């Protein structure tokens, strides 16, 4: 009897060891190349940066910039061109709806944060917004000086201008309004007219609920989309079944913005996971910090944190520094 119990114990232990080996082999990235070949996503093009530790939900970041090290202003055509010239594969930009039913590239909920205007983007036409100075409020010394004042007049671009300037480039579009009206304008006025090849290079993400993005999904089944809620729900399902290699349908045709400190807990991280996501048209981007304030890999030193052999995308606010 004792021999039989002992044999059964070894059989169970052997089966568990075999299962553990299968799970490990199915999720390890050990056999991937050690050559690190990540791609770069430039947040708002090449922007002025600031002390992220000072940021709250209503902080005017234009008023807390570091002393400028380059002449570019976020979300402008020159800043996007500079980002691409420095080697960015994708540029992220922010859109808001105007009074005359067009989309312009601007981040803040109020014009007063960055420009010499007042109110919101939706209060003005594109031509009226073109008269504003998008560099008006930038200061690195608590208002003692304004190094970009007078240099940003006419530089708030329409989305039409962006697509005309960079017809073959990839963009990540942040829908800052987060409502159905803006999303419908984005599709009907801009994206619907694109070729299949152009549309493949467009990804859209938004804040809050996903009503607008649900509309985009109904218009185009394979467009890469993202909200925080979508990502959390999809990744929770993946954590339950990902060890098998199965990819829940919620993770198909998405964009994932993953804080590096948490990404390591995903099944197959890093490159097995990235391969799985690419197989279902989902792009993986790693960010610094906890993912709350768009922290990026902005220095050569920060690049040392990237996993060896990483094949996905990295988020940066200073593409000029990390590619020199």
| pLDDT confidence of residue 5 | 64
Q: What is d(CA 238, CA 233) in angstroms, rounded to the nearest whole number?
A: 9
Predicted local confidence at residue 291, as pLDDT: 83
Closest to 161 in 3D by CA, of 100, 45, 77: 77
Strands 255-259 and 313-316, by their bridges, are: unpaired
Residues in Cβ contact with 108 at an 8 Å cutoff, skipping those fewer than 6 apart = 60, 114
Q: Is residue 45 part of a domain?
A: yes
2 pLDDT higher than 60: no
Residue 147 lies in a domain: no
23 and 52 co-located in one domain: no
Mean pLDDT across 37-56: 95
Q: What is the arithmetic mean of pLDDT over 177-198?
A: 95
Check whether residue 287 and residue 273 sit in a common domain.
yes
Shared domain for 22 and 166, answered yes or no, is no
Q: What is the C-alpha separation between 72 and 195, in angstroms, rounded?
A: 31
Is residue 80 within 8 A of residue 93, CB to CB? The reply is yes
Q: What pTM did the predictor assign?
A: 0.94
The winner for highest mean pLDDT among 11-20, 203-212, 234-243, 291-300 is 234-243
Asked if 94 and 105 count as a contact pair (C-beta separation under 8 A), the reply is yes
95 and 5, same structural domain? no
Does 136 fall in a domain? Answer: no
Match 């039989």 to its residue by tokens.
4
pLDDT above 90: residue 57: no
Confidence bin at 61 (pLDDT 50/70/90): very high
Q: Which domain holds residue 20?
A: 1-31
292 and 273 within one domain: yes
State the chain's mean pLDDT as an integer.
Answer: 94
**Co-location of 39 and 12 in the same domain:** no
What pLDDT, on the 0 to 100 scale, is given for residue 116? 98
Report d(CA 69, CA 177) in Å as an integer: 31
Note whether residue 127 is domain-resident: no
Q: Is residue 128 part of a domain?
A: no
- Residue 78 pLDDT: 98
Instruction: Say yes or no: 164 and 203 in one domain.
Output: yes
Q: Which residue has the higher pLDDT, 23 or 319?
A: 319
**318 Cβ partners below 8 Å, 6+ apart?**
46, 49, 296, 298, 299
Q: Is residue 230 part of a domain?
A: yes
DSSP sequence for 125-161 = -HHHHTTSBTTTT--SSTTS--TTTTS-BT---BHHH
Q: How many domains does the chain have?
A: 2
Query: Are residues 6 and 104 both part of a single domain?
Result: no
The answer to whether 314 and 297 are in contact (CB under 8 A) is yes
**pLDDT score of 289:** 87
Shared domain for 70 and 13, answered yes or no, is no
Query: Is residue 26 domain-shared with residue 164, that is, in the same domain?
Result: no
Q: What is the pLDDT of residues 204-248, one digit of tens each?
A: 999 766 789 999 999 999 999 999 999 999 999 999 999 999 999
Question: Does residue 1 have a pLDDT over 80?
Answer: no
Question: 131 lies in a domain?
Answer: no
Assigned domain for 308 exists: yes
Q: What is the pLDDT of residues 104-130, one digit of tens each?
A: 999 999 999 999 999 999 999 999 999
Residues 171 and 260 in one domain: yes
In angstroms, rounded to a whole number, what is the distance separating the alpha carbons of residues 212 and 215?
A: 5
CATH number for the domain harbouring residue 79: 3.20.20.190
């Amino acid at each position: 009897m004792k021999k039989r119990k002992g044999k059964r114990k070894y059989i169970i232990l052997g089966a568990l060891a075999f299962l553990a080996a299968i799970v490990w082999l199915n999720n390890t990235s050990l056999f991937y190349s050690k050559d690190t070949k990540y791609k770069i996503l430039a947040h708002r093009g090449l922007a002025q940066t600031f002390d992220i530790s000072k940021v709250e939900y209503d902080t005017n970041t234009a008023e807390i910039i570091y002393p400028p090290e380059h002449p570019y202003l976020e979300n402008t055509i020159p800043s996007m061109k500079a980002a691409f010239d420095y080697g960015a594969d994708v540029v992220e930009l922010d859109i808001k709806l105007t009074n005359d039913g067009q989309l312009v590239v601007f981040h803040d909920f109020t014009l007063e944060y960055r420009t010499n205007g007042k109110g919101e983007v939706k209060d003005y036409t594109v031509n009226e917004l073109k008269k504003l100075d998008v560099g008006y409020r930038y200061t690195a010394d608590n208002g003692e000086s304004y190094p970009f004042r007078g240099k940003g007049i006419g530089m708030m671009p329409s989305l039409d201008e962006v697509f005309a300037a960079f017809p073959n480039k990839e963009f990540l579009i942040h829908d800052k309004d987060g409502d159905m009206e803006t999303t419908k304008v984005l599709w009907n006025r801009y994206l619907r007219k694109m070729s299949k090849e152009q549309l493949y290079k467009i990804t859209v993400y938004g804040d809050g609920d996903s009503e607008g993005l649900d509309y985009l999904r109904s218009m185009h089944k394979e467009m890469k989309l993202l909200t925080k809620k979508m990502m959390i729900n999809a990744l929770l399902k993946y954590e339950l079944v990902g060890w098998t290699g199965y990819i829940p349908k919620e993770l198909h045709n998405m964009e994932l913005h993953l804080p590096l400190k948490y990404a390591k807990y995903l099944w197959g991280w890093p490159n097995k996971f990235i391969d799985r996501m690419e197989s279902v048209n989902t792009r993986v981007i790693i960010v610094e910090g906890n993912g709350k304030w768009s922290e990026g890999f902005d220095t050569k030193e920060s690049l040392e944190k990237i996993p060896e052999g990483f094949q996905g995308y990295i988020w940066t606010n200073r593409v000029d520094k990390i590619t020199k």
